Structure 1
């Protein structure tokens, strides 16, 4: 009987260095809202997305590529950018056949960290593309690290909840000896009947809803398979892996 690949969950970018990302599929998870926005833009026909870790870089690259510079800092539109980090902003009529250059507080920074740490394969995950993430992990049959973006290196529940959703679907095919993974799966299984109701307790829910009114964004970000694409990182770009 062949040995199963391993699966680990990193609950924060501050913990990512503890995991071996080489020869593994790393799933970047930033549910509220970067990886949900990435799924939405690709689903609605974006040519590709260039994730960057600085606003200045987003502006510079968008000028070179003719792309749309977009993103946020601390939940609000970043200074110097005309488009934000809302998955609802990237409707087909706006984004189809265009390039999106995206920078966010947590998610795009984490992706860069994974690259710096020698990640072999990187995809991004969110509830809107849950099924594609799970199918890809099963198909690859490689070690997996579910990397939660959290909030400024702190733990958050929404990313952990998504990690739990993935684990609950794929766990039979992996060797999981990882308390953070067990906790993530338990949290998801206890709350999957009403994710939005559970989310009303979350710190980032209140940050986004109370301050900015982004309740529709939150609802989108918690809907499974609403934008079921596979954002796959290749040569500086996130492309829809289902089309490659």
Structure 2
């Protein structure tokens, strides 16, 4: 008998998270369009940290406390939130703008899931731009994993499910997969992977963002390893793992 491998599960919506053993797992927060793609991009481009917050007033107030070294950013329903200067597009944060700064970020779905998962062994954020860093970390840790999709207002979405399926596909040999959501997510990824942009055109979030002219963002957020760092959540902030 070989050693029992740790479990690998997919939670397709924050509304289902209570069904999973968060306390004894590493949780990967997945909000592909666009929070977790932007978080890894910002850290990849040299930001010192990202502070995820639930509300716009909280974002403004932390930004004010931190002064000129802080950038306040966020979106509500895909648009820059009122009262904030920057949005949720990875292209807003080139190195010359964000290096050594703190991004205070509030998003519609991702931040909520992050706070719900606070009792996990560890919390990291994942998206296609940092998929290799995520997979390498999960395999190295050898602990139970929950791939947590931020979804859209608790409704399952295509892009987060696809990313979860891509991770399952890469690392499943190191884990026990006894979770129908993981099997389904991987099946969706396998049938879509050669044509992911076309498949995504059917997705509600694609249509929502495309309406704002954000196809370039979408393409970046679906492309592997453009910002291959591992954001890890510690003491209320996300920093790039050493």
TM superposition score category, shorter chain reference: over 0.9
Long gaps (5+) in structure 1 = none
2:3, 2:57 → 1: CA distance? Answer: 48
How many residue pairs get matched? 239
Show CA shifts across 1:96-132 (max 9, x none): 11000000000011101111xx212000000000000
How far apart are residue 65 of structure 1 and its match?
A: 1.8
1:91 to 94, 97, 100: 94
Instruction: Specify the SS of the correspondent of 1:28.
Output: strand
1:12, 1:88 → 2: CA distance? Answer: 27
- After superposition, where does 1:36-75 map in structure 2 within 5 Å? 36-66=37-67, 67-75=70-78
1:207 paired with 2:208, answer yes
How far apart are residue 215 of structure 1 and its match?
A: 0.5
1:217, 1:126 → 2: CA distance? Answer: 13
Moved more, 58-67 or 90-99: 58-67
- After superposition, where does 1:25-174 map in structure 2 within 5 Å? 25-66=26-67, 67-115=70-118, 118-174=119-175
1:35, 1:133 → 2: CA distance? Answer: 12
How far apart are residue 229 of structure 1 and its match?
A: 0.4
How far apart are residue 23 of structure 1 and its match?
A: 2.3
How far apart are residue 18 of structure 1 and its match?
A: 0.6
2:231, 2:8 → 1: CA distance? Answer: 20
TM (normalized to structure 1)?
0.97
How far apart are residue 139 of structure 1 and its match?
A: 0.4
How far apart are residue 83 of structure 1 and its match?
A: 0.3
Aligned to 1:222: 222
Aligned to 2:14: 13
Structure 1 stretches of 4+ moved >6 Å:
none
TM (normalized to structure 2)?
0.97
Instruction: Specify the SS of the correspondent of 2:23.
Output: coil
Superposition CA RMSD, Å: 0.7
2:172, 2:237 → 1: CA distance? Answer: 29
How far apart are residue 26 of structure 1 and its match?
A: 0.1
2:24, 2:71 → 1: CA distance? Answer: 33
1:127, 1:138 → 2: CA distance? Answer: 17
Instruction: Specify the SS of the correspondent of 1:22.
Output: helix
Moved more, 123-132 or 56-65: 56-65
